Amino acid sequence: MDLSYYLIVSFCVLLFSISKSGFSGGGLALISVAVLSINFGPLRAISILLPLLLVCDAIASFLNRRYFDKKRVLGLMPYTLIGVIIGTILFKNIDLNIISIFIGSLSLAYVTFNYLLEKKFLKSIPFYGSKSFWGSLSGFTSFCLHSGGLPMNTYLISQYKKKTEFVATLVFSMAFINVAKILPYFYLEILSFKQIIEYLIFSPIAIFGVILGHWMNSKLSDKSFFLIINIFIVLASLRLIYQGIIGV
């Protein structure tokens, strides 16, 4: 591999790992997936990131172990697993561009309504606070696009006002999804043991990124944190919509 490969992957892994700390609402993760997909193709991007996601999850789970909402994480598990199973079944027969447009549009509308409408009216919107819908969608889009953080963030924003519980619950929920993806990825030949060994060379960057993101989160107030999360969700949603439109 030439130097450009290591530079591009290192940059993308850093962005993704910062996002895995709960910072950016999945926006940085989508940027890294997009850059890797453009340079190496979407399947290669998926295979590069999964081993490093597991490293990120281990560090982020340790850093946030005291604050996660166990009941909510367990409640989401069946639905996120359903999403992973659906992704496994449909992966080779679906247009990922359409999925990108759908999830981007849905998340963009959700955050827009969250700011423009009164909370009383917002709660009457279909799927508001629905763990079955957002959990399944998170598992499915995580499997297909490594973008499950976007719907998971959208759901958890409706549940928490404190960033500590929000981030910790997000981290543990996404960690379960990533572990659930391992066997299906081997089954679909997206990932191999040889690739895992090759990509783990970037694990120090992943560890550094998670710790950096965790530190960044600690410096923000709850109000500033959720404002930034919503901004990044909007940017990520627009990026997904654009990426889907140009790919159709």
* pLDDT per residue as tens digits for the range 23-33: 655 667 777 77
How many Å separate Cα 53 from the centre of its chain? Answer: 10
- Tell me the mean pLDDT in the region 140-145: 86
What is the reported pLDDT for 135? 93
Q: Pick 107 or 163 by higher pLDDT.
A: 163
pLDDT of residue 105: 79
Alpha-carbon distance of 81 to 174, in angstroms, equals 11
Task: Give the pLDDT of residue 77.
Answer: 95
pLDDT at 127 > cutoff 80 = no
**Which pLDDT score, from 0 to 100, does residue 36 have?**
81
What's the Cα-to-Cα distance from 210 to each of 5, 19, 101, 177, rounded to whole Å? 22, 8, 28, 18
Confidence (pTM): 0.79
Residue-averaged pLDDT of the chain: 82
- Which pLDDT band, with edges at 50, 70 and 90, does 144 fall under? confident
DSSP for 49-95? HHHHHHHHHHHHHHHTTTT--HHHHHHHHHHHHHHHHHHHHHGGGS-
pLDDT reported for residue 25: 58
**Number of residues that make up the chain:** 248
